[in-house]
Structure 1
């Protein structure tokens, strides 16, 4: 899930939760007599309110239209959850007028994972290409053992592995985030 969708999720769910909480608090306050003993004993739906649908023919079509809109918004929200920032593939040519060569991101990430995994002391690495096809960025998580030379590992990733990937893609730059995790007998700990 991308950051924008996650932010919208948090905002929408917070707003919905606040509205439901406020509505519940108002009904509870009325039932407990916050506005006096009279309103707390009265029915919540008066006779006039119960007869309102019979007197207004437009009510049920309006309720149906609102329900359809709510269902469509829910479906759009559900579909947005499946989208991610992951890049599926990259084109190696800027000018596609004479054809193009496309390489899958899984092939690229598998290559850099294999290269980093071969460094002494590295237990496992995981790479992901995020962003767009025009502006990809690499996120690389490297789990290493206590005997690995951390300084040499960082230099190798930056100056060798990522540089080769940039060269293979024929790109001047490839924004990269490298997360290093020390793996010991107690489990992984994140360091950077």
Structure 2
């Protein structure tokens, strides 16, 4: 399903980009003096998008221009939302696992994240573990954020993470490599009030 969504997303981005390039290039060409075809919306370098007659034809309907502007604002917001959704790093929905008999299986990304979070969270001195899978199905990557107790040495926590949780995940999924970006943060110790 996610592969189909990626394909649809790429096709839509390609079509929108092609339309924008063709429209922008043709408007630029007409603005620089090229002769447009008779059916084109612009007829010369001094032509405007809407003539005075077109702008004032709906003057009696007070709802027209606010509606047009609101619709354009909604379109801009939807385009920005889509752009942000495309550009941000997405979670990996599934990982391709080699079953050892020449076949492949799919492992849910959330399941692998959950196991990694549980094992990382149970390490000595870790208050909280947050795991996110990124990358490709055949070459996953891990983003790890650990909240450590104030007394824990970050080097020891990193060694435990790479030697235990990440190694177990890589071996159990039969992955050649499992690159990880690890962020460690120490929890703040709150002083207790003594009376």
Identify the residue that residue 119 of structure 2 maps to in structure 1. Answer: 115
Structure 1's 144 and 74: CA in aligned 2 closer, same or farther, altered over 3 A?
closer
Q: Normalising to structure 2: TM-score of the pair? A: 0.53
Q: Normalising to structure 1: TM-score of the pair? A: 0.54
1:53 Cα deviation from its structure 2 partner:
2.1
1:105 Cα deviation from its structure 2 partner:
1.2
Within a 5 Å distance, the mapping from 1:38-57 to structure 2 comes to 52-54=51-53
Secondary structure of 2:187's counterpart equals strand
Identify the residue that residue 80 of structure 2 maps to in structure 1. Answer: 77
Given candidates 170, 173, 181, the residue that maps to 1:166 is 170
Task: Spell out structure 1 runs of 4+ moving beyond 2 A.
Answer: 67-85, 147-152
1:126 Cα deviation from its structure 2 partner:
0.6
Q: In 1, are the aligned partners of 2:94 and 2:109 still within 8 Å (CA)? A: yes
Q: In 2, are the aligned partners of 1:91 and 1:103 still within 8 Å (CA)? A: yes
Unaligned runs of 5+ in 2: 1-47, 59-69, 191-195
Secondary structure of 1:125's counterpart equals strand
1:152 Cα deviation from its structure 2 partner:
2.2
Secondary structure of 1:101's counterpart equals strand
Q: In 2, are the aligned partners of 1:85 and 1:132 still within 8 Å (CA)? A: no
Structure 1's 156 and 143: CA in aligned 2 closer, same or farther, altered over 3 A?
same
Within a 5 Å distance, the mapping from 1:1-192 to structure 2 comes to 52-54=51-53, 75-83=78-86, 84-93=89-98, 100-185=104-189
Secondary structure of 1:86's counterpart equals coil
Which is richer in helix? 1
Structure 1's 150 and 71: CA in aligned 2 closer, same or farther, altered over 3 A?
closer
CA distance in 1: counterparts of 2:131 and 2:85, whole angstroms: 20
CA distance in 1: counterparts of 2:166 and 2:85, whole angstroms: 29
> How many pairs does the alignment contain?
129
Secondary structure of 1:184's counterpart equals coil
